[in-house]
Structure 1
């Protein structure tokens, strides 16, 4: 495997931190993402990178390479987050919730929320509470109550006690409910917030693009950016990718938990997830780039995980796919990551964009002759030893 000469670039951590906090402050549950996409487009425009928006709300941009190669690459991130939707107006003047995306009501309890009515000039606030919320009323019953979305409700911050009062506020079934993130950056560099998945990834990618632009460094091949808005509900990068894209790298949260190798201070290279393994050659190429430049990168495999690239492949994307991540503790809950891990991730993205495709000539076309496929591996075939075949598979003499 040949790795094109690459140069580490300085990552503006102040920029990354600012962008991350501003992204977190914009509510964007799947299905209500116009505002956050506008913000990302404005950030790209400030870097001199134009962007377009698809009918379904995905944002597309491109950092052109120095030459036409017939094959490009893409970085994919998502701005949509988990959230909720009003399922039912309750007789007690509170709201039943339906979750948007996969997350537990256990972590919703106590969350401050914004309820978006059809009146764009009115935002109603509230808080998610268990049905038995008063220790002075229920005593031990508070601890004995089960958990689940049927066990919580939204208390609205208005003088309302019935369905009629809720309707008078303009609230109805189908209104979006955004969980407020409450972001905090500690002096030691930890970032604590809801919705780091995937807004920390978006901030890292924007910081990487800024580093490329500031240094006047062009990517080896044209690098597309696709910012999706339905990853949390499974659609992800199912549309919006340029047909010339030969490599797709999704950037998303990596799971920090017992039994996982991901860490908050490191970047993560996912080798496989709940859908299956990622591309053999592209993952090894990313690992090689990280080793060459001392990027702190760990490898991991995830059990209950699905990313943008799964939707891309299922939609027919004819490309190699991989996943880079930033370590997040308590994913889809009370999340936490670290600026150092985001810095390593942004640096690796810069290095990757400067490198050649895994197979620059082979991947310039969507298909080719089997005999021309690059040879990478030698496997023993007999007692006489291995002999490399046309695609790296050992053949006996």
Structure 2
């Protein structure tokens, strides 16, 4: 099948520029619904606000589910300080130093957007002797709003209150060398790859061997994205999420990563071998890896007691949960492996 790599990249750029921290994903779900309508794919929402796409297959007795999540890291207003700055509580597992100096946007309950910058309370080296060593945590980091505010009352007059969502500027850039560097490649890169594969399947006119559901989850970063709404006919469950890169890892920014084990334990051995064989047969650049501090929608489904064979693949992403980067070739390898899996027989 023909792979439209430019579609994948363009779709990814659109996704990362739509704020969607876990708990506030309505806008990005609407965007995906519009794309489903354009592609002619049946879809429905679940009660959690996620999206379930369904493509009928030749065999309707057994089903497959593929999932990727559209929610991202973010924050909420924890406290409005007396000096007009904001304290944050984090959404998702990342370190405060990963967002220091980042531009952000506070979304009020009545739909206003106020920009600001996340910084240390001891940001100035000309004033604070310990700027370089000052610990970065919830008490020592704050949002400096781009508004004339001198106290908490001034902030509240803007409409900002405790519990308002805070999103981070993605700063997305596609370089002429093929790199995509941006926040929120986790997991919008995988959503883009999933849609690239879906588009290829639909344009080929070939019917999939099994009825397949594509679950766009919206709560993965907080642990329960795709642990429900799995049709009882489902026998295989494939999560598509980032491949983690770092010391001791085999994954890089150019391959599709196949996970053997994460913090939840090993993935289904037969499923993993099936995915590796598909990658080999199709001449793909792939790596098998273990992610030591990681959980996916597949592991969440297993924890919920879903009786399926589960697997995990995804494009290699550098600097996960920070300023992330990957390369177009990782998208190409990931999309091709997804397509090959969709066309393949069930795992034995």
Question: Is the TM value for this pair above 0.5?
Answer: yes
In 2, Cα distance between equivalents of 1:20 and 1:311: 24
Question: Number of residues paired by the alignment?
Answer: 348
Q: Determine the structure 2 residue equivalent to 1:137.
A: 127
> Is residue 283 of structure 1 aligned with residue 272 of structure 2?
yes
Name the CA distance, whole Å, in 1 between partners of 2:138 and 2:296: 24
Paired residue for 1:238?
227
Residue of structure 1 equivalent to 2:106? 115
Residue 27 (structure 1) aligned with residue 26 (structure 2): no
TM (normalized to structure 1)? Answer: 0.86
Aligned mates of 2:207, 2:286 — CA distance in 1: 24
Aligned residue in 2 for 1:339: 328
Given the alignment, which residue of 57, 67, 73 partners 2:64?
73
How big is each residue's C-alpha offset from its partner over 1:334-356, in whole Å with a ceiling of 9 and x where there is no partner? 10011100110001100100011
The answer on 1:173 being equivalent to 2:165 is no
1:87-113 Cα shifts (integer Å, max 9, x gaps)? 000011000000001000001101111
The runs of at least 4 aligned residues of structure 1 exceeding 6 Å deviation read: none
CA distance in 2, matches of 1:54, 1:94: 37
C-alpha distance after superposition, 1:39-63 (max 9, x if no partner): 1111122111011001110100111
Deviation at 1:144, TM superposition (A): 2.3
> 3-state DSSP class of the match of 2:289?
strand
* Distance across 2 between alignment mates of 1:144 and 1:282: 47
Q: Which residue of 2 aligns with 1:267?
A: 256
What does residue 289 of structure 2 align with?
300
Q: Is the 8 A contact 1:239 1:312 kept in 2?
A: yes
The aligned residue for residue 392 of structure 1 is none
Cα offset for 1:135? 2.1
* d(CA) in 1 for partners of 2:222, 2:94: 11
1:124 aligned residue: 114
CA contact (8 A) 1:236 1:309 kept: no
Q: CA deviation at 1:136?
A: 2.2
CA contact (8 A) 1:74 1:225 kept: yes
Partner of 2:2: 10
Structure 1 counterpart of 2:44: 52
1:207-218 counterparts in 2 under 5 A? 207-218=196-207
What does residue 365 of structure 1 align with? none
Supply the distance in 2 between the matched residues of 1:216 and 1:285 (Cα, whole angstroms).
Answer: 25
Moved more, 195-204 or 54-63: 54-63
Cα displacement string for residues 46-84 of structure 1 (whole angstroms, at most 9, x for unaligned residues): 11101100111010011111232x211111100000100
Aligned to 2:91: 100
**RMSD value over aligned CA atoms?**
0.9
Greater displacement, 226-235 / 211-220: 211-220
The answer as to 2:82 corresponding to 1:91 is: yes
Distance in 1 of aligned mates of 2:125 and 2:2: 53
Q: Secondary structure, in 3 states, of the residue corresponding to 2:247?
A: coil
SS at structure 1 position matched to 2:132: helix
Q: Deviations over 1:344-373 (max 9, x none)?
A: 0001100100011113xxxxxxxxxxxxxx
- Cα offset for 1:149? 2.5
Tell me by how many angstroms 1:150 deviates.
1.9
3-state SS in 2 of match to 1:149? coil
Give the structure with higher Rg (CA): 1
- Gap runs ≥5 in structure 1: 1-8, 360-397
> Which secondary structure does the structure 2 equivalent of 1:205 belong to?
helix
Tell me, what secondary structure is at the counterpart of 1:232? Answer: helix
Which residue in 2 is equivalent to 1:184?
173
The aligned residue for residue 33 of structure 2 is: 41
Q: Normalising to structure 2: TM-score of the pair?
A: 0.98
- Give, in angstroms, the shift of residue 16 of structure 1: 0.7
Deviations 1:298-332 (A, max 9, x none): 10011100000111111121100000011111100
Q: CA deviation at 1:141?
A: 2.1
